[in-house]
Structure 1
Amino acid sequence: MAREEALAAARDLLLSGGPAAVTLKAVGERMGVGHANLIHHFGSAAGLQGALMDRMVRDLAERIAAGLKDGAVALEPGRLMTAVFDAFGRSGASQMAAWLILAREQDRAESFAGVVRDLADRLAALAPDDARATERAQALVTTAAYMAFADGLIGPVLRPMLDAPEDLGRDLALKLTAALLAEP
């Protein structure tokens, strides 16, 4: 399917070259088609970029939902943190989120915000007997999002400077999360 192939090529370009690399010409070259074919599917470069942002938000939601499957997070918080860090880092959600923010794409940012709110609601629902479940869930989501976002953007540059292990950011987020959840 040409649309799916174009979105995959656009994501690869975003991850390898940043938002400026996602052009109709570059995606067409990667696919071996003219940019007119892409205009047919997306209408414009902005349409392609918007479709990519939407796809990445959906992918982020699916990855996080998988981390919550069967209440696994209550037993294994590392599973959720790994899903969030993988989504922000390897899958490019940090690049996408930075792009949304810098491009002032508030409409697209709202779909991202929906993913964040849904995650907090689902986490709070895992502890129905905890009067502070909503507050704790918000703290967990904020910690995970801040740290995974930063790790996805600057981690690949910062870790080698410090000769730090690849999972340092995730491990620090887990420690902070454990401390937040242990508060009475």
Structure 2
Amino acid sequence: MSSVVKSSPKAAENDENAGETSPAKPAAKRIRRTAEEARRLILDAAEERLARQGPEGLRLQDIARDVGISHPAILHHFESREGLVRALVGRANRQLRDTLLSALDGDGKGSDTAYHIGHVFEALSDRGTARLFSWLLLTGRANGKQPEHDVMHEIVDAIHARRKDLAMQQDQPAPDREDTLFIAMLTASAAFGEAIVGRQLAESAGLDQDGLVRFRLWFAKLVNDHLDNKN
């Protein structure tokens, strides 16, 4: 004798709906960006990771996640990680050049040495650019034939032109261009050094957190005193 199992109304309802599919979730709305805007956002994210983590932080998957795009999208714009690094270096050079040349050209601070040296330290140290340049040199990735590497010549020419103008206004002899070049090299070397080992040196010397700020001001005074003696 067979037994009959009665199913509950709820179970029957579930059986009837078993073949039905739940409504699909609406697809996320894609954000359309121009190629220029996409490249800028990718470089912004890469620069932020560079400042926080150094060159080892430039991982395409992480940068893609920061921007909200896919890994292949970065490859579409830069072809490879090396291509992204080259673009990042080129932009850093242009930003450094444009910032310093703009500072030299306007806002009444043409002779404010501390102001301009602060821009150099900010561009090379605070943004992580110096660590990237050093990494490129140490790994043999630097290419001295790139146009962006002419930035040093442009900056030295602009600084020297300003020094000559000031000397003329003060009825002083024109400064030597090599002296201007050496000042620029010394400033760049100090900024690079601070970016790479400055914090460790400050801590080992017993300086507090503001020690590097005071070092920048001291260095600016050192350069300014030299310029005053030369002019």
TM-score by length of structure 1 reads 0.86
Q: Pairwise mapping of residues 110-129 of structure 1 onto structure 2 (< 5 A)?
A: 110-111=146-147, 113-128=149-164, 129=168
Determine the C-alpha separation between the residues in 2 that align with 1:105 and 1:116.
Answer: 19
The match for 1:154 is: 197
1:95 aligns with 2:139: no
1:27 aligns with 2:71: no
Structure 2 residues without counterparts, runs of 5 or longer: 1-36
Determine the C-alpha separation between the residues in 2 that align with 1:167 and 1:69.
Answer: 25
Secondary structure of 1:132's aligned partner: coil
Determine the C-alpha separation between the residues in 2 that align with 1:169 and 1:109.
Answer: 34
CA change 1:109–1:52 in 2 (3 A) is farther
CA deviations 1:101-134 (Å, max 9, x no partner) are 2232342675454111111111111233544331
The match for 2:214 is: 168
The match for 1:141 is: 184
CA change 1:121–1:14 in 2 (3 A) is same
Determine the C-alpha separation between the residues in 1 that align with 2:96 and 2:221.
Answer: 23
Per mean C-alpha deviation after superposition, the further-off stretch among 137-146 and 151-160 is 151-160
**Larger proportion of helix:** 1
CA deviations 1:18-42 (Å, max 9, x no partner) are 1122122121122232211111111
- The one-letter code matched in structure 2 to 1:141 is A
Determine the C-alpha separation between the residues in 2 that align with 1:109 and 1:82.
Answer: 28
Q: Higher Cα Rg: structure 1 or 2? A: 2
Structure 1 residues without counterparts, runs of 5 or longer: none
Q: Percent identity among equivalent residues?
A: 24
TM-score by length of structure 2 reads 0.70
Aligned length: 184
Determine the C-alpha separation between the residues in 2 that align with 1:103 and 1:73.
Answer: 38
Give the superposed CA RMSD.
2.3
CA change 1:168–1:153 in 2 (3 A) is farther
1:81 aligns with 2:117: yes
Determine the C-alpha separation between the residues in 2 that align with 1:79 and 1:149.
Answer: 18
- The one-letter code matched in structure 2 to 1:135 is E
The match for 2:143 is: 107
Per mean C-alpha deviation after superposition, the further-off stretch among 159-168 and 139-148 is 159-168
